[in-house]
């Protein structure tokens, strides 16, 4: 859960700078068998129930090259028909409207068998604001959670102790208020307490015992760095950590010392890049390079469940532009990319459809979701329809392209008008056309001579399938290739 702020840095140049960064070899959050690394592509499957996630891992995600999937919070929550009820815990039972403990465990097994690790969204900053009964029947008061917490286990923010008159966060520039006052009325856990940390560690270890490989820590900036570090240190060292540090006085760099943070400012820079002709291309100065967050500790994203609702980033409603932005994210040698897949909505609070008992229905993808026509139709999907952006052909094709180019450096940059592209060593070449007009020209690449299929259109071709003539590009002996592509499209070639 987040509170929206205006970006404080001039980041439209930072992405340009990112293009000059060579992909590092490891992840900053520690050694070991971690799921989230610079060599893996992740996917947030927002509000998908556990059975549907498991089925998608088996049928699509593993085959398309996704290596980890971020699922919604699995703990018991208050009852309601809004998506954010999952962010109001009532206990740490693995029992929610998304499925039972057994269904969650089976999902983890199914995904693991498909080569996909599960990252769970962990709500450990607070408990529920509402006293509504929990999904599994747990009864509680705002500061009374039987068997877990009592009044003394929460921060009680008052003017007398340097907090606020309301007890909630009033001054978003005050680190003390951000980390000790209540966020949106939610009961703020005192993570400085050993008892509280023990309970949280117990919950996280329980999820690890079910095969979960890591956690997105919701509202991480609302937890003091030293206290969060004590929690993460008590969990197995090969755990992947994704911290939500979203603007404000908390310093993301301190969280990146033992985990990863999301590149929200980077995501907010993308709308202008893809709406202004010629904005995508650019040169990076040493001064701009110095402003970039650490590549091997930053989760890059185009949107997530919060930003697609606050209007600060591109979303499925932007159709092809959204697809191109994801493709660009996958093309550059910077950060650890996370694709997003959610559902269509007009009411920002609404959860996806449920049955008569309030259980989230199975996710069903539009029949043409893996086609160009499906991308075009996405902005007009009915509320509650799962968009399945993760199946879009440009995105799945670029996952394969990213794997093919590995850590090869950028060279032979092409930057003319609204066309911007580059080679990644002699492994691949990509060109983006962000104009409303078609692009036609001869471009120099670093690829060996030969015929190449455009992965930006075809996606990941089935085994044995051949590329159509209109999607085949011939690279000459001197590395040049004649390219003709429509408006708002791309070409991605790889060995």
Which carries the bigger pLDDT value, residue 42 or residue 270?
42
Nearest to 343 by CA among 5, 1, 49, 2: 49
pLDDT of residue 29: 39
Confidence of residue 467 (pLDDT cuts 50, 70, 90): confident
Mean local confidence (pLDDT), 237-241: 97
Residues 6 or more apart whose Cβ sits within 8 Å of residue 194: none
CATH 3.20.20.80 range(s) for the chain read 12-401
Flag whether pLDDT at 441 surpasses 70: yes
Residues 6 or more apart whose Cβ sits within 8 Å of residue 6: none
Give me the catalytic one of 103, 218, 293, 389.
218
pLDDT of residue 279: 74
Give me the catalytic one of 64, 103, 182, 244.
244
Confidence of residue 31 (pLDDT cuts 50, 70, 90): very low
DSSP of 367-419: TTTTSHHHHHHGGGPPTT-B--GGG-HHHHHHHHHHHHHTTPPEEEEEEETTE
Is the pTM of the predicted complex or chain greater than 0.85? yes
The conformation of residue 294, written as its DSSP 8-state character, comes to: P
Least trusted range by pLDDT, from 3-7, 91-95, 289-293: 3-7
- Cβ–Cβ < 8 Å for 47, 351: yes
Residue 419's φ and ψ, nearest 5 degrees, are: -105, 130
Mean local confidence (pLDDT), 411-436: 92
198 catalytic residue (yes or no): no
pLDDT in tens, 284-301: 223 333 466 888 999 999
d(CA 452, CA 465): 14
d(CA 261, CA 225): 13
pLDDT in tens, 317-350: 999 999 999 999 999 988 899 999 999 999 999 9
Flag whether pLDDT at 6 surpasses 70: no
Which carries the bigger pLDDT value, residue 248 or residue 31?
248
pLDDT of residue 56: 98
Looking at 3.10.560.10, 2.60.40.1180, 2.60.40.10, 3.30.70.1140, the CATH number of the domain 408-494 comes to: 2.60.40.1180
Flag whether pLDDT at 204 surpasses 50: yes
pLDDT of residue 285: 26
Confidence of residue 24 (pLDDT cuts 50, 70, 90): very low
CATH 2.60.40.1180 range(s) for the chain read 408-494
Which carries the bigger pLDDT value, residue 4 or residue 156?
156
Confidence of residue 462 (pLDDT cuts 50, 70, 90): low
b/e map 201-239, b = 16+ CB within 10 Å: bebbebbbebebbbbbbbbbbbbbbebbbbbbeebeeeb
pLDDT of residue 25: 33
Mean confidence (pLDDT) of the chain: 90
In this structure, is the dihedral angle defined by the CA atoms of residues 137, 141, 142 and 143, taken in order, positive or negative? negative
244 catalytic residue (yes or no): yes
| Residue appearing with tokens 């969204």 | 121
- Cβ–Cβ < 8 Å for 22, 285: no
pLDDT of residue 458: 64
Chain centroid offset of residue 492 CA: 23
In this structure, is the dihedral angle defined by the CA atoms of residues 74, 80, 82 and 88, taken in order, positive or negative? negative
We find that the CATH architecture of domain 12-401 is Alpha-Beta Barrel (3.20)
Angle at 136 between CA 131 and CA 141, to 5 degrees: 20
pLDDT in tens, 445-459: 999 999 999 999 866
Flag whether pLDDT at 311 surpasses 70: yes
Helix (H, G, I), strand (E, B) or coil at 196: helix
Flag whether pLDDT at 13 surpasses 60: no
pLDDT in tens, 363-380: 999 999 999 999 999 999
């Amino acid at each position: 859960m987040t509170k929206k702020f205006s970006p404080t840095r001039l980041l439209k140049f930072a992405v340009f700078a990112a293009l000059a960064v060579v992909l590092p070899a490891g992840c900053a959050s520690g050694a070991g068998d971690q799921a989230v690394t610079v060599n893996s592509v992740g996917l947030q499957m927002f509000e998908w129930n556990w059975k549907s996630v498991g089925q998608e891992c088996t049928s699509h995600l593993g085959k398309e090259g996704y290596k980890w999937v971020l699922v919604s919070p699995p703990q018991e929550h208050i009852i309601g028909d809004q998506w954010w009820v999952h962010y109001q815990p009532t206990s740490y039972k693995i029992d929610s409207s998304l499925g039972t403990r057994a269904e969650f465990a089976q999902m983890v097994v199914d995904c693991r068998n498909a080569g996909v690790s599960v990252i769970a969204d962990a709500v450990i900053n607070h408990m529920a604001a509402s006293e509504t009964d929990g999904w599994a029947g747990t009864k509680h008061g705002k500061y009374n959670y039987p068997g877990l917490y009592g009044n003394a286990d929460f921060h009680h923010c008052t003017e007398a102790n340097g907090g606020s008159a309301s007890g909630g966060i009033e001054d978003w520039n005050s680190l003390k208020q951000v980390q000790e006052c209540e966020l949106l009325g939610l009961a703020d856990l005192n993570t400085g307490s050993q008892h509280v940390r023990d309970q949280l560690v117990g919950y996280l270890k329980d999820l690890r015992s079910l095969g979960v490989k890591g956690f997105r820590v919701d509202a991480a900036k609302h937890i003091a760095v030293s206290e969060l570090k004590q929690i993460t240190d008590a969990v197995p060292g090969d755990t992947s950590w994704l911290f939500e540090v979203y603007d404000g006085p908390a310093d993301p760099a301190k969280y990146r010392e033992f985990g990863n943070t999301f590149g929200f400012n980077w995501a907010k820079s993308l709308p202008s890049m893809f709406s202004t002709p010629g904005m995508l291309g650019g040169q990076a100065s040493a001064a701009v390079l110095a402003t970039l967050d650490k590549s091997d500790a930053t989760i890059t994203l185009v949107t997530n469940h919060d930003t697609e609702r606050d209007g600060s980033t591109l979303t499925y409603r932007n159709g092809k532009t959204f697809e191109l932005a994801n493709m660009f994210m996958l093309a550059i040698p910077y950060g650890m990319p996370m694709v997003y897949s959610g559902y269509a909505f007009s009411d920002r609070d609404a959860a996806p459809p449920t049955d008569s008992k309030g259980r989230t229905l199975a996710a069903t993808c539009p029949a043409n979701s893996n086609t160009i026509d499906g991308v075009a139709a996405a902005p007009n999907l009915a509320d509650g329809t799962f968009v399945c952006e993760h199946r879009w052909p440009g995105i799945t094709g670029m996952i394969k392209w990213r794997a093919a180019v590995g850590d090869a450096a950028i060279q032979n940059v092409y930057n003319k008008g609204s066309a911007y592209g580059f080679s990644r060593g002699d492994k691949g070449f990509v060109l983006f056309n962000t104009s409303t007009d078609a692009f036609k020209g001869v471009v120099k690449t670093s690829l060996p001579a030969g015929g190449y299929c455009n992965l930006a259109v075809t996606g990941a071709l089935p085994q044995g399938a051949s590329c159509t003539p209109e999607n085949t590009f011939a690279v000459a002996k001197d590395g040049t290739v004649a390219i003709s592509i429509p408006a708002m499209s791309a070409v991605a070639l790889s060995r």
